[in-house]
Amino acid sequence: MAVLSKGTLFDPELVSDLVNKVQGKSSLAILSKQVPVSFNGSKEFTFTLDQDVDVVAENGKKTEGGVTVEPVIINPIKIEYGARISDEFLYAADEEKINILKAFNEGFAKKVARGLDLMAMHGINPRTKQASTVIGTNHFDKVVTQTVQMTEDPEATIESAVGVVQGSNGVVTGMAMSPTVSSSLAKLKVNGVRQYPELAWGANPGSINGLAVDINATVSEDLSKSDRAIVGDFANMFKWGYAKEVPLQVIEYGDPDNSGKDLKGYNQVYLRAEAYIGWAILDAKSFARIMVTIA
């Protein structure tokens, strides 16, 4: 069966299913645009007209408005996940192998989705939770310097963050918030009436007051645990993408995960999948982070 050979690729249907699941579980993927990314990187441009339009009288003089064009490179980063399973996988019927691969693909999709948020929001290696030199400064915690302090009034805090973005001539198309903020809004009452009943019992409604919203614990899972929400122009000023080829290996020999246990010695095989994901924050001033002070 072709999918079992080393260095082969996920079936296109599995890749499509993988990406769909990532889009449904990553806050950044939900709120922003996906763009194709090549293995060598892709270039995105921010195109800004510097001034307003000019009124010109008949036979009047025209002046230059000016334009600013800035390129942003989206470089894909390789991520991988591997797991040991019984070598009975090698001898199972084709249908059973496909079921196992589908289950592995579903689990891998969840890890990729979570990984995208942790990498692009906080610049950390999802497995070690440490700052990644590969990611460098290409993440919200480093690039987005507009911040608002979380207060006891979550509604007012969010309004302040929106005001910061709008004050920088940006627009707000979405918000990624932690469960802490969601819970605070869900408890908010005026004269005993809940102001956000759609958030009760941990619900994730997809929008609040007409604004696209996603609730995810990845928002607050940075090195200092200080982030609580990110608001801004996700629709236009953050882009992400993946390289369509997703390598899959079925490794039968050795100790590929450096666990000290030989695969043959334990009657196991090792499934390893890789993905190439890139992202770019096109305009840092189009975002604001809501934070708390960590003692």
pLDDT digits (tens, 9 = 90+) for 12-43: 677 677 767 776 689 999 999 887 676 566 65
Please compute the mean of the pLDDT values over residues 241-253 and round it to a whole number: 81
| Predicted local confidence at residue 68, as pLDDT | 61
Instruction: Name the DSSP letter for residue 60.
Output: P
**How high is the pLDDT of residue 114?**
93
CA distance 282 to 74: 10
The token pair that represents 97 in the structure block? 């192998």
Classify 107 as helix, strand or coil. Answer: helix
Beta-bridge partners for 289: 147, 230
pLDDT of residue 105: 83
pLDDT over threshold 50, residue 184: yes
Domains of the chain: 2-45+72-291 (3.30.2320.10)
Could you identify the residue written with the tokens 């090698």? Answer: 90
113 vs 23: CA distance, rounded Å: 7
pTM as predicted: 0.84
Residues in the chain: 295
Cα separation, 121 vs 144, whole angstroms: 10
pLDDT > 70: percent of the chain: 80
pLDDT digits (tens, 9 = 90+) for 168-181: 999 999 999 999 99
Whether 98 has a pLDDT exceeding 90, the answer reads: no
Q: What is the mean pLDDT of the chain?
A: 85
Write out the E strands in the chain: 8-9, 33-34, 42-49, 67-74, 77-86, 147-149, 174-177, 189-190, 193-194, 207-208, 211-215, 227-232, 238-242, 247-251, 268-281, 287-291
